[in-house]
Amino acid sequence: MTALSLDTTKSVHSCKKQSVSHGLKLQTHPTKSHIKMESTTSAVLSAVTGTVAMTAAYAYAQRDWLKDQWLAFISPAIYNFLKGTTREQRALKYLKEHARQGDPDSVLETFDEFCRTQEWAMNAAEEKGDILDEIVRELQPTTCLELGTYCGYSAVRIARNLSPSARLITIEVNPDYAAVAREVVKLAGLQDKIEVINLDSADVIRELKTKYDVTKLDLVFLDHWKYLYIRDIKLIEEEKLLKKGSVVFADNVIIPGAPGYLEYIRGSKNYKSTFYSVHFEYMDDMKDGVEKSVYIGDE
């Protein structure tokens, strides 16, 4: 019998070589592409983490403002969906249940109560309302124009201080708001002084002289879409509806803001303007501003 001899050393080396060739325990050095990918991934993760951290920090710093936005805009939209009614309809219902018929002061006080205790609404109330009251009492206007009726709060506030022969034309482009405003005006007993028009403000301004028998405006209250302030004041000027001493009173010139309007009105030699720093409606921790501009130009 012939003896078999095995070269174990060779077998071991062969196995190691085979293992390496099949990648069973392959160890390689990282390539440049791997390094670049890892570097890019690290940079992206770092950027995302930094952005999240900054966003969280900003949200915390602005928590009161964010809370106000939730209460003012987001929460009501959800509530409207759940209730099947709008905030404006609920406000009208509250007024009819709690305000005294034919009493403008009662209507305003009840509306303020609703906004303070039930749901927020964008009315020219409190400090703003006090300034508006003072303007009307001092000016004693006979013909007033309001752009942006909303629910009729400021219309009632203006008209309650007007003389028996004076009138207010108020324009609201939203038909639902206009319908509520007419009911609020009627509840206050001021339907003979206030005319609520559901049209675009520019269309009405162009027809004030021909269709609405207006020659000059003593008071203009701007409280509609802020980007329309500058368009509509220029249109009022083009139609020559202002006279010396006419007052243009603009709400919310800081929040949401009307920078273009402020630049125009303050830069015009035809106006003498005064800015009032006031609180945003029904929010004690948020500042807004109103601008009173007296027309001193040529008629």
Which residues have a catalytic role annotated? 223, 226, 251-252, 281
Alpha carbon distances (Å) from 32 to 35, 38, 40: 5, 10, 12
- Are 244 and 295 a contacting pair, CB within 8 Å? yes
Pairing of strands 143-147, 217-222: parallel
Residue with tokens 């506030």: 157
All residues at 6 or more sequence positions from 288 whose CB lies less than 8 Å from its CB, including other chains: 128, 252, 253, 254, 255, 278, 279, 280, 281
All residues at 6 or more sequence positions from 149 whose CB lies less than 8 Å from its CB, including other chains: 155, 170, 171, 172, 177, 178, 181, 196
Helix (H, G, I), strand (E, B) or coil at 98: helix
All residues at 6 or more sequence positions from 59 whose CB lies less than 8 Å from its CB, including other chains: 66
Cα(257)–Cα(271) distance, integer angstroms: 20
Torsion of CA 66, 113, 179, 205, to 10 degrees: -70
| Identity at 240, one-letter amino acid code | K
Cα(168)–Cα(81) distance, integer angstroms: 34
Count of CB atoms situated within 10 Å of the CB of 287:
12
196 φ, ψ to 5°?
-95, 120
Burial pattern 191-228, b for ≥16 Cβ within 10 A else e, equals eebbebbbeebeebbeebeeeeebebbbbbbbbbebeb
